[in-house]
Structure 1
């Protein structure tokens, strides 16, 4: 391992952490991830910073929760003055590249990366801005609906399969370029896929792997709407559940396609890891595997994310790195910890911004040291009408929203979160302690006001910018054909030798 290791970050979208009790569950056909798990520190209780794509990803990259990043939802700008792990590593001399999704909103589509090998799969503008001023409003053209469940099944090509095929191709090509490069800087390559995010449509060869799967039905079946908590009711409404008749077979097909797409992603990750090994970089590269958030997959009758329940908020997290012994870590962790962890592994100083970060390095946590701060989550996007916050510490999770009754769950005794202990006299002291921490960490009234101001501003700007000439912010990957393959300003002999790995005679 070099003094400053190379870094490969492998991110997937909407992968359930409960499917990774200690690496991938046995029933999943994921040989490449299982091989990676065997050499990794595996964080069993890892959580997202926010159970939605753009807020989760901004938090993961910056080490800051959404209230600090102001990426409140999937249409909130990620400010270019917020340092990400790409900025920290690039400042320290790393070459930084991104292939795939990161859901950056705003004119800055790089956020510290020197190059971005693909465009994003989702729009970069303010069009998906929710509106707290219109509680209960459902925006049909971009809100999730249950059609992803009723339409689940087999497809050889989809919008998202096309995207992830391209991400994998560009990532493998980049790994080969890194192996035969003349640049002697360490590299950080982030590869971010959009699967297994819905729609639940999978290629036949992966679908067939789960024909006899014993996990095609949720462990906790649908709970009647009136018996759901306040936020879950809002999620049901936002997902337009009344206009769909979800059958048992729909559920089985959706879950089967989801598992199939986990296997599809495993294949794509295998291609990248094979390329890394082929060019001799495996031993010199830290590898991080994680998801932005999870998917309820029909548990409690809920689908997709937007919730603090385990299916939505818990994510897989594995780190293969020197100084971090392979094995299982049960201490709660967060994707918000990744920026500090990568800086720690690379020997990069983040002290100048440390007072304004919400994560901490997982290197000492993996070695058995206690966390300095509890794991926290925030949610302020569609299906919410006021900010929701959560604290995961020890065996407990505590959820708070000014509109709803608090929730306290003992995750060791009640892993399916079926018994709310917030009003249980036997847990009054614990509930009070968590309520005090909510007041310590958040000014809920101020947070709510900040979100409403942001939404109002963005609605005005979006409507204005869509009038007249429109100049989109979507990233346009640059490909200079005059510098590819063989051109007449190149020496053929030098070219063929330099582009070969291992080098010829």
Structure 2
């Protein structure tokens, strides 16, 4: 009991000192709240991807920190995206390109972000989905809270194909796995910590299946649903390699044939708003804690998501919708309030950014660029196009104006985002863009590692 009161007194003292003298927080070592969200694309409020989306808590975080409007994943799939950003090793360097490739066997000596913070004196805790579920890394977590299963309907209402399903569930928020994960994070923030901490909290929604409580579906009546902008024959000027990735005769054909497009969009929106509510609970707990003044917040989605654009669903592609991610960073006393950056950044930049912000020794061999200069000046100079890789030898290079895709068979796509943000017109065969392609090609990876071994599980 005495220990309990001692902790409470320590927390209260820290709050009083922080309120009385903000410099108290600034002079202590930064903590890190690391928030990973699964399958969340740019439809949230700060990124403007869907008009009328309800994401008040992410909107509030965006006003607090810097929003990176042109942020991209290193790979449009959970496992390679997360493994690469957490180790600092690109997919093209490791050979981990897909969800069914365990990353630790080919990166035996890699030191992950949580491992590096542990080695540098931090108290480290993980909760929820940080690494891909099938390949969580026990070596990275001195303390870890696994993902509780969320309730599901008695049977799959749509078709149950690889979790490709959506429906309200007759449960409360408290019954959902993400709610329980947040409880674990809140408990951690309410405790007294004698060392700086690195707290990673991972959310599963809006990953499929889109099963969330009815009240979130009610916020998006079917009559109000707006489908993504599309055109007929969008894949006509896309190389065979790109069409093969899109698989238009798979999910999209099913959606259209069964008149599920509006319902699927509704399910995705409902799942985003549910996730936003849980993120809000976590951020509110931080704000009320003794650590509000000296905790860095990194918020990101692991990759984008298609909902019918280019006749494609899910991630697993090199176009804008699959590779653009939500990315917001708040660094106390350093980041620009209400900051918005149009520079092309990548999730690979998280590792070097955090080590610099926390004044840790720079981690050697990390493939990324610290965005600390952009936190100070979001419009500052930046000469780093963003690279996304999907499978062996398939890469996209994104500059502020163009997206250039080169597949492993040499075929190409090029889109001018100033005039064609939906990527409807492939300019790759137009001779007048040869110099543009040549310049963007300079950022392609210099090596393509062979495919890492695969296993049966971990496909989705």
1:58-93: CA deviation from partner (whole Å, max 9, x where unpaired): 122122211234422213223242122212222221
Tell me the residue number matched to 2:367: 358
The answer to whether 1:348 aligns with 2:360 is: yes
Going from structure 1 to structure 2, the CA distance change for 1:175 and 1:104 (only over 3 Å counts) comes to: same
Deviation at 1:359, TM superposition (A): 0.8
Q: Secondary structure at the match of 1:318?
A: strand
Say which of 74, 78, 100 aligns to 1:49: 74
Q: Name 1:193's counterpart in structure 2.
A: 203
- In the TM superposition, residue 407 of structure 1 has moved relative to its aligned partner by 0.9
User: What is the rounded CA distance, in whole Å, between the counterparts of 2:82 and 2:229 in structure 1?
Assistant: 29
* Per-residue deviation, 1:156: 3.1
Aligned-residue offset at 1:241: 4.1
SS at match of 1:331: strand
1:376 to 387, 402, 408: 387
Corresponding residue of 2:103: 78
Q: CA RMSD in A?
A: 3.1
User: Residue 110 of structure 1: CA displacement?
Assistant: 3.0
Q: Distance in 2 between matches of 1:346 and 1:209?
A: 40
8 Å Cα contact 1:222-1:302 kept in structure 2: no
Deviation of the 1:388 alpha carbon: 0.9
Q: Is the 8 A contact 1:47 1:335 kept in 2?
A: yes
Residue of 47, 61, 65 corresponding to 1:36: 61
CA change 1:145–1:413 in 2 (3 A) is farther
Q: Please give the secondary structure, in 1, of the residue aligned with 2:343.
A: coil
Q: Pairwise mapping of residues 166-315 of structure 1 onto structure 2 (< 5 A)?
A: 166-177=180-191, 181=192, 183-211=193-221, 214-221=224-231, 223=233, 228-237=238-247, 240-241=250-251, 244=254, 246-247=256-257, 249-315=259-325
Provide closer, same or farther for how the CA distance between residues 289 and 26 of structure 1 changes in structure 2, counting only shifts above 3 A.
Answer: farther
Cα deviation, residue 345, structure 1: 1.1
- Where structure 1 has 5 or more consecutive residues not aligned to the other structure, the ranges are 123-143, 381-385, 464-472, 474-505
2:351 is aligned to 339
2:185·2:201 contact (CA, 8 Å) conserved in 1? yes
Aligned counterpart in structure 1 of residue 119 of structure 2, from 91, 94, 100? 91
The verdict on how the C-alpha distance between 1:299 and 1:243 changes in structure 2, with shifts beyond 3 A counting, is closer
Number of the residue aligned with 1:478: none
| Shift, 1:277, TM fit | 2.4
State the partner residue of 2:393. Answer: 387
2 CA distance for matches of 1:228 and 1:164? 38
Once residues 393 and 224 of structure 1 are traced to their aligned partners in structure 2, the CA distance between those partners, rounded to angstroms, is 22
Report the secondary structure of 1:17's partner residue: coil
* Secondary structure of 1:37's aligned partner: helix
Q: Distance in 1 between matches of 2:149 and 2:167?
A: 21
* Mapped partners of 1:57, 1:342: distance in 2: 16
Query: Structure 2 length as normaliser, TM-score?
Result: 0.82
Could you tell me how far 1:216 is from its partner in structure 2?
2.8
Matches of 2:431 and 2:362, distance apart in 1: 43
TM norm structure 1: 0.75
Contact in 2 for aligned 1:96/1:115 (Cα 8 Å): yes
In the TM superposition, what is the alpha-carbon distance from 1:175 to its structure 2 partner? 2.0
Per-residue CA deviations over 1:146-167 (Å, capped at 9, x if unaligned) read 6766x43322359x97432332
* CA 1:14–1:221: 2 relative to 1, 3 Å: farther
Q: Is the contact made by 1:78 and 1:106 (CA closer than 8 Å) also made in structure 2?
A: no
Pair 1:119–1:194, CA change in 2 (3 A): closer
Once residues 120 and 161 of structure 1 are traced to their aligned partners in structure 2, the CA distance between those partners, rounded to angstroms, is: 10
Alpha carbons of structure 1 residues 245 and 292: separation in structure 2 relative to 1, 3 Å: closer
How far did residue 334 of structure 1 move? 0.9
For residue 324 of structure 1, report the CA deviation from its aligned partner: 1.2
In 1, Cα distance between equivalents of 2:242 and 2:175: 30
**Alpha-carbon displacement from aligned partner over 1:164-218 (angstroms, at most 9, x marks no partner):** 23322222222223xxx2x310111111111111223332101111117755311
CA contact (8 A) 1:97 1:190 kept: yes
Corresponding residue for residue 117 of structure 1: 145
Structure 1 position 315, deviation (Å): 0.5
CA contact (8 A) 1:378 1:389 kept: yes
**Conservation of the 8 A alpha-carbon contact between 1:96 and 1:114:** yes
- Name the counterpart of 1:419: 425
In structure 2, the residue corresponding to 1:86 is in which secondary structure?
helix
Map of 1:103 onto structure 2: 131
- Whether the 8 Å CA contact 2:80–2:91 is kept in 1: the answer is yes
Where 2:271 maps in the other structure, the secondary structure is: helix
Counterpart pick for 2:88 among 49, 63, 69: 63
Taking the aligned partners of 1:121 and 1:348, their CA distance within structure 2 comes to 36
For 1:442 and 1:186, locate their aligned partners in 2 and report how far apart those are by CA, in whole Å.
38
2:446 corresponds to which of 442, 445, 454? 442
Residue correspondences, number: 417
Secondary structure, aligned partner of 2:93: helix
- 1:261, 1:45 → 2: CA distance? 23
Does the Cα contact within 8 Å between 1:101 and 1:121 map onto a contact in 2? no
Q: Shift of residue 263 of structure 1?
A: 0.9
Contact 2:238 2:426 in 1 (8 A): no
